[in-house]
Structure 1
Amino acid sequence: MHKVHKGLTAEGAGLAGDRVVAVGSPARVLVAATARALRGLDCADLGHAGPVSRFPGAPEPVRRAAVSRAAGRVAITMAQVDEVDAGRVARWFVDQYPRQRYPGVLIGSPHGAAAHLAVALGVPWLPAGFDMSVHWTGGAVDRPGAALQHGEALAARMLAGNPDVHLRQVHCPASRGPLTGVTVSLAARWRALPAAYTQFLADRLTAGAPVLLVPDARTWPVLERGPGHSFQVGCPASGLDPVDFHPDSHALRQVLRSVGGDAARWEAPEMSVPSGTAEHGMDSGFELAARDWAARREHPLHRVLVPRPAALSAGVADLYRHWLRRAGKTGNRLVVECGRLLDPWQVVRAGMVPYWCENATRRSVDEAEWWLAGSETFSSVDVLPEPPGVRSPALAGLPQWLAVAGFGRRRRALDRTAARGYPVTSVPTRRATEVLRAQPYDLPTPPPLGVAEALSVLRDSGGHQGLLVS
């Protein structure tokens, strides 16, 4: 198979965007959900239950085998690596949005609350990067060094045709489970605005429409392997700390045991950068390019720096309550979403306040509880815990999720479908739609928020959470 080089490839050549971007990855789900909401549609067609959902009582080896087979069907093959075109991925993202003029745009790291914010403003949300999953024949969950060697070869081939991206390889059995041993996870971050984004901003923004950058500021130890490729063991979304990925860690032994690995074989490369930007951070070149474009086209640019996911989740939840009450609604009904279990359109249709947990870790749920404890009481609280499909000592148990629902004054609901088989089953995105469709309508929907008003509320409510709005 030929290598695909820019300038030598016909328009539209290479793999389609929906084939490149990992199935179920945050950016993919959030663009799909936001684009549907801007069309007045819900997420009833999004996601499919994974293979483990069909075997709720199956032994762990059977589960792992099912997950591995499923990964083999959707991951990029070695033969397809040269066909990856990051520019075509960017075009796929922007083409999902209705062809109309918008009063602004959000661009940044994948975060469910950012999607809700975009919908409240009536603007698109675009990711600053995307995730890929590539076959790793003969891989092992407990061999991060071998994963790095395999990833270096993949990165060299991808970067030959995509010099405008940085590839961060992530080896994290705590968040990806047995997939870590059969696929390599690559988070691609654009180092400049892709051409499709530049055209989208020029064609679809109204005169003077603001550009909002929402980068994830979390850090993690990183190993720089050369221009365009870096490597990390573990990730913030695992709910663990970097020290927990040391071979002497009790947490690591538990994780590896649950996914069929052995801590005695774990030898992670030494990281060269003790505190680099984590995998879903925004590349500095991308941010600089966005600032340059906005300045040249006379579009104001604002930055909402997110120190941890809960800060933005709390800020946007407070913003929704303000928005709903300004429109004469109560703002007293809360839905706590998790991971891919979200539906921005149904939230707006029902007049609910959304609080998004990045995942089902204790850390995420703890922060939701702290925010609820400090907030005005909600009359109802619906909780949608996404089962991660893996076992980990960092996960919240169902009693903790029930405690979150317990903050509701009259209604306290934990979705039974999501809870059934938790944490090792999987639930499709459309489950959130099914739950939210059962909520009473609260129409008409409020008129879109203005960006200046939204930033003011975020600055006031998110400041004590560490949210930096500029």
Structure 2
Amino acid sequence: MPEVQKGLVAEGAGLAGDRVVAAGSTARVLVAAAARALRGADCADLGQPTPLSRFTAAPEVVRRAAAARAAGRVALTPEQTAEVEAERVARWIVDQYPRRRYPGVVVGSPHAAAVHLAVALGVPWLPAGFEMSAHWTRGSVDRPRAALDHGAALAARLLAGNPDLHVRQVHCPASRGALAGATVSLLARWRALPAAYARFLGDRLLPGAPVLVVRDARTWPVLDEGRGHSFQLGCPSSGLEPVDFHPDSPALRQLLRAAGGDGAHWEPPEVSAAGEHAEHGVEPGFAEAARRWAGRHGHDLHEVHVPHPAALSAAVADLYRRWLRRAGKTGDRLVVECGRLFDPWQVVRAGLVPYWCENATRRSVEAAEWWLAGSEPFSSVDVLPESPGMRTPALAGLPQWLAVAAFGRRRRALDRTAARGYPVATVPTRRATEVLRNQPYDLPVPPPLTAAEAVAALRDGGAPLGLAVT
């Protein structure tokens, strides 16, 4: 499982940050990768083979049981949720970064392209929230109402000591599979700027250094009764639509069978809003607090509103290509990353253009194909497909990934290790490092981008993609 740097736990009460934040969660891996890149290190130490790698050829029911046991070993107990201190988590995050002054910072929704942008700028990336996984002892993947009740009780414990959080519970058999019946996923989003973040910005930002806030603008039906906890059935990253989680949906029946559930038990809770920001959105209070802090301390703040992950991936890939070419490099070698299979330092070291797919859904891969079709051709295309660990109706097959690689004029490479057990056998983040280390060196690294250049490029190049930069 991906691990962040050990020994970086700040003083204070409550559980250590590396115990609270879910192992393998996107924000956790992104912080770890960004911090390493700013130290000039790659992700070779991120992730070890999981116990599930032994069950690749096992029957589905055996793999589901193994996944549930593995998740249970690292999930928080109900008692531990009451010990979570969000401020300590924030300290744990900022303490991972090298102690020096920075010409800016990128904060907000978890997106690997935002981390690539931060690395090109030479600045940290800070998440606007973090994910936790908690035990659901008698849980069932096909009982969302029971999941809501259990999650609400856990959230009440958590919020009692952390009133500045909003907790979004996500019950999604499509993205979590059998784990949705063994644990509950709680995404804690700060409603104000954590004190540790404010101290970090005050101590580490150079005078006048800008703050970039990246905001995932996707929406999803949500039940929010106004007590700091909201419930979301399914999610945009599943590659499905909200209607696909209706009891009569054929896609839902297929999902539940794959996850060991039964559609006959599926009773979704009512929703209170048909289109609230989805789980990776930034709380308005957090964004406003960041803006107030920036204004008081003489820093510009820009917001980047992302309608869908592919828009930011394409805009940052185009930006990298121009950045590399301005430094005298070809900018003609592309790596298509997926999920946790990425390494920002190796990308910069090899002079590659990075394009990140959020996951292995057809929607994500099709977006990469469309972007490639409209781009100047690349001489080489390397593809790193992350296996989701299960088959879903929205899954991109290996032929679709091969079609992405086929855009390379001279080199067309789909990583065989990642593809070998696709879509059920997962590989760790360090697999991306192993692949990218084989790319030829293209040093020196280009001089860092300036924030003004990046904002202008995102504003001009991102507008046709739907990005809104303020």
CA RMSD of aligned residues (A): 0.8
Alignment of 1:237 onto 2:230:
no
Task: Name the residue aligned to 1:193.
Answer: 193
Task: Name the residue aligned to 1:93.
Answer: 93
Alignment map for 1:277-292 (pairs within 5 Å): 277-292=277-292
SS at 2:287's partner residue? Answer: helix
- In 1, the alpha carbon distance for the partners of 2:203 and 2:396 equals 45
SS at 1:232's partner residue? Answer: strand
- In 1, the alpha carbon distance for the partners of 2:29 and 2:80 equals 23
CA contact (8 A) 1:225 1:231 kept: no
Task: Name the residue aligned to 2:351.
Answer: 351
1:351-374 CA distances to partner (integer Å, 9 max, x unpaired)? 000000000000000000000000
CA contact (8 A) 1:75 1:183 kept: yes
- In 2, the alpha carbon distance for the partners of 1:198 and 1:12 equals 17
SS at 2:184's partner residue? Answer: strand
CA contact (8 A) 1:337 1:355 kept: yes
1:100-153 CA distances to partner (integer Å, 9 max, x unpaired)? 000000000000000000000000000000000000010000000000010111
Alignment of 1:445 onto 2:445:
yes
Q: Provide TM-score, normalisation by structure 1.
A: 0.97
Task: Name the residue aligned to 1:381.
Answer: 381
Task: Name the residue aligned to 1:256.
Answer: 256
- In 1, the alpha carbon distance for the partners of 2:194 and 2:125 equals 15
- In 1, the alpha carbon distance for the partners of 2:340 and 2:49 equals 12
Task: Name the residue aligned to 2:275.
Answer: 275
373-382 vs 49-58, which moves further: 49-58
Deviation at 1:49, TM superposition (A): 2.4
- In 1, the alpha carbon distance for the partners of 2:280 and 2:202 equals 26
- In 1, the alpha carbon distance for the partners of 2:209 and 2:84 equals 32
Deviation at 1:50, TM superposition (A): 2.5
Task: Name the residue aligned to 1:366.
Answer: 366
Q: Provide TM-score, normalisation by structure 2.
A: 0.97
> What percentage of residue pairs aligned between the two structures are identical?
77
Structure 2: 5+ residue stretches without partners: 1-9
Task: Name the residue aligned to 1:67.
Answer: 67
1:416-449 CA distances to partner (integer Å, 9 max, x unpaired)? 1100111111110000000000000000010100
Alignment map for 1:101-116 (pairs within 5 Å): 101-116=101-116
Deviation at 1:54, TM superposition (A): 1.6
- In 2, the alpha carbon distance for the partners of 1:229 and 1:398 equals 38
Structure 1: 5+ residue stretches without partners: 1-9
SS at 1:177's partner residue? Answer: helix
Task: Name the residue aligned to 1:221.
Answer: 221
CA contact (8 A) 1:222 1:230 kept: yes
Task: Name the residue aligned to 1:137.
Answer: 137
Task: Name the residue aligned to 1:390.
Answer: 390
Task: Name the residue aligned to 1:247.
Answer: 247
CA contact (8 A) 2:225 2:272 kept: no
CA contact (8 A) 1:52 1:424 kept: no
Deviation at 1:254, TM superposition (A): 0.5
- In 2, the alpha carbon distance for the partners of 1:98 and 1:166 equals 29
- In 2, the alpha carbon distance for the partners of 1:468 and 1:165 equals 26
SS at 1:215's partner residue? Answer: strand
Deviation at 1:52, TM superposition (A): 2.2
Alignment map for 1:44-83 (pairs within 5 Å): 44-83=44-83
Task: Name the residue aligned to 1:301.
Answer: 301
SS at 2:404's partner residue? Answer: helix
Deviation at 1:77, TM superposition (A): 1.1
Deviation at 1:292, TM superposition (A): 0.4
Alignment of 1:178 onto 2:178:
yes
Deviation at 1:48, TM superposition (A): 2.1
**Residue identity opposite 2:168 in structure 1:** R
After TM superposition, the runs of 4+ consecutive aligned structure 1 residues lying more than 4 A away are: none
Task: Name the residue aligned to 1:155.
Answer: 155
**Residue identity opposite 2:260 in structure 1:** G
CA contact (8 A) 1:390 1:423 kept: yes
Alignment of 1:42 onto 2:42:
yes
- In 2, the alpha carbon distance for the partners of 1:310 and 1:11 equals 39
- In 2, the alpha carbon distance for the partners of 1:322 and 1:453 equals 11
CA contact (8 A) 1:382 1:414 kept: yes
- In 1, the alpha carbon distance for the partners of 2:184 and 2:225 equals 16
**Residue identity opposite 1:385 in structure 2:** P
Deviation at 1:79, TM superposition (A): 2.2
Deviation at 1:13, TM superposition (A): 1.4
Q: How many residues are matched?
A: 461
